[in-house]
């Protein structure tokens, strides 16, 4: 197994050991909070205002590009990311509950001057979310194709990725 898989499995085990047993109303409130947060991470002000309400202090986030291990790191990452985008939207398309948390399937649209000549990029993905007893996120693991959702749009790198994909 690679390091990312091991890190996720360790974080998931830890989060499940501390996971909250939320009633249906509290779970729905927590799901609404994380969904609303994800929809608004294009706004630095929103991130600054809401991060403490959404993520636990010791939260784990892996967005397939980076692994972050506490709320402060997560906040810094989202703020930095928001500064690079000229537009951003995310729609949560579906939510599934399992005995190991929730899965949110989403469609993200964003534009950044350094990617795809500033044109809009559309990506689909899914996030595994586990909440604590207060409805705050303990674990947030994203699953999305970062090669087509991001790296194919990076100057110089994108052409190489597209070439490799054609050969597969």
Domain boundaries, the chain: 3-167
Q: Residue 1 — pLDDT band, cuts 50, 70, 90? A: low
Residue-level pLDDT at 157:
45
Cβ within 8 Å of residue 127, ≥6 positions away:
38, 103, 104, 106, 140, 141, 142, 143
Q: pLDDT tens across 53-71, in order? A: 999 999 999 988 889 999 9
Confidence check: pLDDT of 114 > 90: no
> What fold characterizes domain 3-167?
Nuclear Transport Factor 2; Chain: A, (3.10.450)
CA distance 12 to 35: 20
Q: Are 138 and 15 in contact (CB under 8 A)?
A: yes
Residue whose C-alpha is closest to residue 129's, from 141, 121, 112: 141
Residue-level pLDDT at 167:
58
- φ, ψ of residue 73 in degrees (nearest 5): -65, -40
Cβ count near 87 (within 10 Å): 12
Supply the angle between the helices 24-39 and 44-54 in degrees, to the nearest 10: 160
Residue-level pLDDT at 158:
45
Supply the angle between the helices 44-54 and 71-84 in degrees, to the nearest 10: 160
Q: pLDDT tens across 130-150, in order? A: 999 999 999 999 998 654 544
What does pTM read for this prediction? 0.85
Burial class (CB in 10 A: 0-12, 13-18, 19+), 98: exposed
Residue-level pLDDT at 145:
64
Confidence check: pLDDT of 120 > 60: yes
Confidence check: pLDDT of 29 > 50: yes
Residue-level pLDDT at 166:
53
Residue-level pLDDT at 24:
95
């Amino acid at each position: 197994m690679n390091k990312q898989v091991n890190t996720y499995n360790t974080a998931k085990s830890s989060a499940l050991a501390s996971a909250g047993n939320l009633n249906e109303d509290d779970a729905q409130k927590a799901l609404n909070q994380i969904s609303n947060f994800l929809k608004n991470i294009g706004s630095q002000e929103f991130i600054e205002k809401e991060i403490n309400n959404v993520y636990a202090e010791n939260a784990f986030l892996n967005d397939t590009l980076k692994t972050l291990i506490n709320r402060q790191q997560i906040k810094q990452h989202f703020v930095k990311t928001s500064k690079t985008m000229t537009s951003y939207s995310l729609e949560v398309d579906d939510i599934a509950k399992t005995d190991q948390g929730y899965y949110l399937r989403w469609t993200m649209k964003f534009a950044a001057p350094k990617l795809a000549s500033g044109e809009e990029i559309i990506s689909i993905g899914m996030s595994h979310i586990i909440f604590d007893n207060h409805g705050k996120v303990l674990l947030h693991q994203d699953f999305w194709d970062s090669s087509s959702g991001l790296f194919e749009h990076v100057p110089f790198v994108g052409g190489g990725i597209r070439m490799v994909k054609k050969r597969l």
